[in-house]
Amino acid sequence: MKPFDYVAAKDSQHAIALLAEHGARARILAGGTDLLVELKEAPRPPGIVVDISRAADLKGIAMTADGLRIGALATHGEIMRSALVREHCPVLIEAAHSIGAVQTRNLGTLGGNLVTCVPSMDSGPTLMALEASVTVANAAGQRRMPLAELFVGPRKTSLKPGDLLVDIVIPKENLGKRAAFEKFGLRKGQALALVNAAAAFFIDKGKFKAPRIALGAVAPVVIGAPKAEAYLEGRAISAEAMAEAGRIAATEAKPISDFRASADYRRDLIAVLVKRALGGAHARATAKDKELVA
The pLDDT-based confidence of 291 (bands split at 50, 70, 90) is low
Chain CA centroid to CA 104, Å:
16
User: Alpha carbon of 76 to those of 10, 93, 131, 175, 256: distances in Å?
Assistant: 22, 8, 19, 19, 28
pLDDT of res. 60: 97
pLDDT of res. 174: 97
Q: Give the count of alpha carbons within 13 A of 29, CB side only.
A: 18
User: Alpha carbon of 10 to those of 15, 19, 78: distances in Å?
Assistant: 7, 13, 21
Task: Kindly report, residue by residue over 272-288, the tens digit of the pLDDT.
Answer: 999 999 999 999 888 76
Mean pLDDT, rounded, of the chain? 94
Chain CA centroid to CA 157, Å:
13
Q: Which helix (H) or strand (E) holds 254?
A: none
Homologous superfamily of domain range 178-288 = CO dehydrogenase flavoprotein, C-terminal domain (3.30.390.50)
pLDDT of res. 290: 55
In this structure, CATH architecture of domain 5-51: 2-Layer Sandwich (3.30)
Check pLDDT > 50 for residue 220.
Answer: yes
CATH code linked to domain 56-174 = 3.30.465.10
Task: Kindly report, residue by residue over 174-215, the tens digit of the pLDDT.
Answer: 998 999 999 999 876 678 899 999 999 999 999 999 999 999
Please state, in angstroms and rounded to a whole number, the distance separating the CA atoms of residues 239 and 244. 9
pLDDT of res. 293: 41
Q: Which residues pair with 276 in a beta bridge?
A: none
- Delimit the domains of the chain by residue range: 5-51, 56-174, 178-288
Please state, in angstroms and rounded to a whole number, the distance separating the CA atoms of residues 294 and 288. 10
Check pLDDT > 80 for residue 143.
Answer: yes
Please state, in angstroms and rounded to a whole number, the distance separating the CA atoms of residues 49 and 115. 16
Q: Give the count of alpha carbons within 13 A of 80, CB side only.
A: 17
